[in-house]
Amino acid sequence: MKKFGLAFAATLAALVATSAISLSPANAEGKATLLDGVKSWAYQLKDVSQDKIDKIVASPFDMVIIDSSMFPNGKEIHLTRDQVESMKKKPDGSRRVVIAYFSAGEAEDFRDYWKPEWNKNRPGWVYKADKDWKGDYIVKYWDPSWQKIIYGSPTSLIDRIVDAGFDGVSIDRVDAYYYFGDTEERRLQMVDLVKRVSDYMRAKNPQAVILAQNAEELLPKPDYLNAIDATVKEDLVYGISHKEVGNPAGDITHSTKLLDDSHVKGKKVFVVEYLAKKENIAKAREYMKQHDFVLYVGQRDLYELSSVVGEEGAKAPAKDADGKKPETAKNP
């Protein structure tokens, strides 16, 4: 294990030395967005409560991605406009960007769109249960019935997010095409969905920003790149095995190249690494600095905010010590 750590440190150092790019506003193409000034950010996806909102308000982070609902006693209660507005003001009086999380590739049976009868008779757009997340279901995201849940009516996810005053959305499970053979057809269907969501939300709020999680393989597609403002990348240099070990150099290089190319074209890149060891945090921070990516380090369950911007850390995540996928966004 010690030898692997030394080997990975050398590999990461080499990648930093050979693959760094120089990016400045002068060579970045694209329109100005609310994300331009974001130099720190945080996730709060689990156990959202008024107490957690108050901690966000008191934090120095420039941006937060948060579930748009609370779940006291397992019942969904959507965040109010007042709650969202309170998070937009940092302690120093400056502006914080507040982004709502939602999943495009999975349905969750704790959401209020889930009908009780679906517990026995699944709707046609449900593909199968996610074996790692109890209560989550992989969906046929190209199905119009599922897309109607996402946008297009007063009770749809996007409409409620807009009405609550969020600055934008972070779309999870954009890479759900992997469940369907990772074909070009399925990739293009996800591109189409992201574009529809983006067009719909920007029609309601021209200043809205669209973040997409992972799925960097879609970034070379012009329609997709134009539909988003940023990528949120998990486990770029550590943790694809859900353990705190370095990723294969080929995987790091492949993903970084795609993210760099999008960044040069004006798209922000936010990276979350789930780390506890100070030396790993330092290495990850140096790598992100070289690529102008904005790093957040936290616990994999995203239950609590990191305490200090720039010195983020995390306790070793107990729930995924066996390497199983954690319930990152599971609230109830």
Q: Which two tokens stand for residue 105?
A: 């590739």
Beta bridge partners of 273: 297
Question: What is the distance in angstroms between the CA of the first residue and the CA of the last residue of the chain?
Answer: 37
Distance CA 31, CA 208 (A): 12
Handedness of CA 196, 202, 205, 209 (dihedral sign): positive
Model confidence, pTM: 0.87
Q: What is the pLDDT of residue 53?
A: 97
Q: What topology is assigned to 41-103+153-297 in CATH? A: TIM Barrel (3.20.20)
**What residue ranges do the domains of the chain occupy?**
41-103+153-297
Q: What is the pLDDT of residue 310?
A: 53
Instruction: Name every residue whose Cβ is closer than 8 Å to that of residue 300 and which is 6 or more positions away in sequence.
Output: 239, 242, 274, 314, 317, 319, 320, 326, 328
10-residue averages of pLDDT along the chain (332 residues): 46 52 40 91 93 96 97 94 99 98 97 97 97 94 99 97 98 98 99 99 98 99 98 97 95 99 98 94 96 94 69 40 39 55
